[in-house]
Structure 1
Amino acid sequence: MKNKTNLFILSGFIAFSSCTSDSVSDLGEPSNLSEVTYTTTVKSIIDNNCIVCHGNSPTNGAPMSLTTYENVKDAVLTRNLLDRISRAEGASGAMPLGGPRLPQNDINAISEWIDANFPQ
């Protein structure tokens, strides 16, 4: 009987000691921990999908390089990059040329980067 009493007391102690003093404000939505920036998100999308043709020396008829932040930002502003990667696969002018369309999550990330005013 003594062991059951000790076990009951120990269980109660563990249950009550695990409570915290978090306030309701501590339980709110976290700030945007995954801010889309060129360095953290966009660069890898471009590097993995575009650099084959849009490298330092563009190939396969690519008109510009997309190797730097400035290059990519300029392509968005002056060459309709978002429109080109958003077109249906096989549509005229769709990028990547002849390849599968980028995953929608990647397109959304680039769009979010643009909407946030191109954070580096």
Structure 2
Amino acid sequence: MKVNSQFRKTFLLFSFSFFLASCLTNVEETIIEDEPETDPCSTITYTINVKPIIDNNCIQCHGSGGNFPNLTTYNGISANATSVKAEVVSRRMPQGGSLTTTEIEAISCWVDNGALNN
């Protein structure tokens, strides 16, 4: 009987130790969340993205003394931003040339974000 009691004590002590050890090692797992998707339009700026497109594709016809609207300045472009967007999205402009999908998306994003002078 003494051996049985000793065995019980040892077994309970071992079980209790195992239970505590298992609780300590699995406290909490690190949860890795997917990074939120970034808005591709958030990086589009007038100076870096839109102005070079206009300068390379529109100024030939819509420059000083050319067709209306005059797109040589920020004020001229921003005042006609909705029209510029509509023309490039429909691919009616630039006449005699074409913009890439990336260029059209840049102009669209810039207009949709308020045609800021940034």
- TM-score normalised by the chain length of structure 2: 0.60
Higher helix share: 2
Task: Give structure 2 stretches of 5+ with no counterpart.
Answer: 1-31
Task: Give structure 1 stretches of 5+ with no counterpart.
Answer: 1-23, 89-93
1:53 counterpart SS class: helix
1:107 aligns with 2:104: yes
CA distance in 2, matches of 1:30, 1:119: 23
| RMSD of aligned alpha carbons | 2.4
Q: Figure out how many residues of one structure are paired with residues of the other and give that number.
A: 86
**Percent of pairs identical after alignment?**
35
CA distance in 1, matches of 2:90, 2:98: 8
Shift of 1:103: 0.9
Residues 61-104 of structure 1: CA distance to partner in whole angstroms, max 9, x if unpaired? x1221011111111124xx211111224xxxxx1112x132111
1:42 aligns with 2:45: no
Query: Aligned ranges for residues 1-120 of structure 1 at < 5 Å?
Result: 28=35, 35-58=43-66, 62-77=67-82, 80-88=83-91, 94-97=92-95, 99-120=96-117
CA distance in 2, matches of 1:70, 1:55: 13
Residues 4-47 of structure 1: CA distance to partner in whole angstroms, max 9, x if unpaired? xxxxxxxxxxxxxxxxxxxx69x956977971111111000000
CA distance in 1, matches of 2:116, 2:45: 5
Which protein shows a greater Rg? 2
The code of the aligned residue for 1:46 comes to: I
> CA contact under 8 A between 2:46 and 2:115: conserved in structure 1?
yes
Between the two structures, name the one with larger relative contact order (CA 8 Å, sep ≥ 6).
Answer: 2
Q: Structure 1: which 4+ aligned runs deviate by more than 4 Å?
A: 27-34
